[in-house]
Amino acid sequence: MKAIWRCIWFLAIGGVAVSAATGVTKVSATSGHDTRFAMMRKSMVEQQIKRRGIRDEEVLNAMLSVPRHLFVPEPLADRAYDDSPLPIGYGQTISQPYIVAYMTEVLALDDESVVLEIGTGSGYQAAILSELVKKVHTIEIISELAESAARRLLELGFTNVEVKEGDGYYGWPEHAPYDAIIVTAAAGHIPPPLIAQLKKNGRMIIPVGGVFMTQNLVLVTKDYNGRAISRNMMPVLFVPLTGEH
Ligand code: SAM
């Protein structure tokens, strides 16, 4: 689904000082601002994403078109295309552009895919997915972030994204099974409900590890017999998956 507008390499340890402000800058499609941000996006894709080996044209196009500066607090708009995560309020972050692209590419999506995201945050990763797939279901545990992301995605025309407030550990069984699942907060273990909600031949990408431990980005693939196979892809440092589970 194409919208009107066409997440942590390493999350800085100790986090980034955050305020609860989550206002976004809205700019007109023809403004000088917009041209400047489009140039910043192009440079981000060339310098940070292609150089590190992302080749999927659809992923690159989505990273080129989604206005990341509208997903960060207004005072940070000029830093939206930096090679780093940024604070989005409530102690949370929008992930580094490269990590967003990498996690998207390894899911091997197509325009018929139905995807579940755990950790909506700003809605940016969901917007990138929205450009590539049929439907995105995304769950956020912090109600204020869930609400602001839902509003932002709708205002920007990402109409194939559905946001729900809740604990993503349990997935979203009503829409299962999913072609792909992406978890954007670090879990102590791979949640069994998420494995259960993945289609045969489906893929899940999830950071696994504790807050003070090495975390690994793990790719889980479910084979035709329903057997899940995990592979460590790279070390990362994400904010933790919270909740009562
Ligand atoms: N994908 C987001 C984006 O594009 O802005 C960034 C994700 S941020 C690194 C991790 C998010 O996961 C935070 O917004 C956090 O509140 C959320 N989160 C943590 N535990 C969760 C849980 N159990 N269920 C749903 N969301 C959770």
Q: Is 148 a catalytic residue?
A: no
Nearest CA to ligand 1 atom 7: 121
| Element at 69 (helix H, strand E) | none
Angle at 118 between CA 116 and CA 123, to 5 degrees: 90
Ligand 1 centroid distance, CA of 226 (Å):
27
Cβ neighbours of residue 112 under 8 Å, at least 6 residues apart?
133, 134, 179
Catalytic residue among 84, 95, 130, 148: 95
Please report where in the chains the tokens 């100790």 appear, as a residue: 14
- Is the beta carbon of 215 within 6 A of some atom in ligand 1? no
- Ligand 1 centre distance from Cα of residue 168 (Å): 9
Going by C-beta distance under 8 Å and a sequence separation of 6 or more, which residues neighbour residue 222? 195, 198, 199, 200, 201, 202, 203, 204, 228, 229
Q: What is the pLDDT of residue 230?
A: 97
Closest C-alpha residue for ligand 1 atom 18: 119
Residue 119 Cα: closest atom of ligand 1? 12
Q: How many CA atoms lie within 13 A of 78 on its CB side?
A: 1
Please name the residue ranges forming H helices in the chain. 32-44, 57-65, 97-105, 124-132, 143-155, 192-196
pTM of the model: 0.90
What pLDDT does residue 31 have?
67
Q: Is the CB of 114 under 6 A from ligand 1?
A: no
Is there an atom of ligand 1 within 6 Å of 206 CB? no
pLDDT of residue 90: 97
Are the CB atoms for 197 and 116 separated by under 8 Å? yes
With a 6 A CB cut-off, is 243 part of the ligand 1 pocket? yes
* Residue entry with tokens 């995605």: 153
Q: Which residues of the chain have pLDDT under 70?
A: 1-31
**CB of 8 closer than 6 angstroms to any ligand 1 atom:** yes
| Shortest-distance Cα residue to atom 17 of ligand 1 | 119
pLDDT of residue 15: 24
CATH number of 31-236: 3.40.50.150
Residue 60 Cα to ligand 1 middle (Å) = 23
Beta pairing, strands 92-94 & 114-118: unpaired
Of all residues in the chain, what percent carry a pLDDT higher than 70? Answer: 87
Domain ranges, ordered by start, for the chain: 31-236
Cis, peptide link before residue 177, omega less than 30° from 0 = yes
- Give pLDDT, residue 25: 39
Ligand 1 binding pocket includes 97 (Cβ within 6 Å)? no
Task: Enumerate the H helices of 20-160 as residue ranges.
Answer: 32-44, 57-65, 97-105, 124-132, 143-155
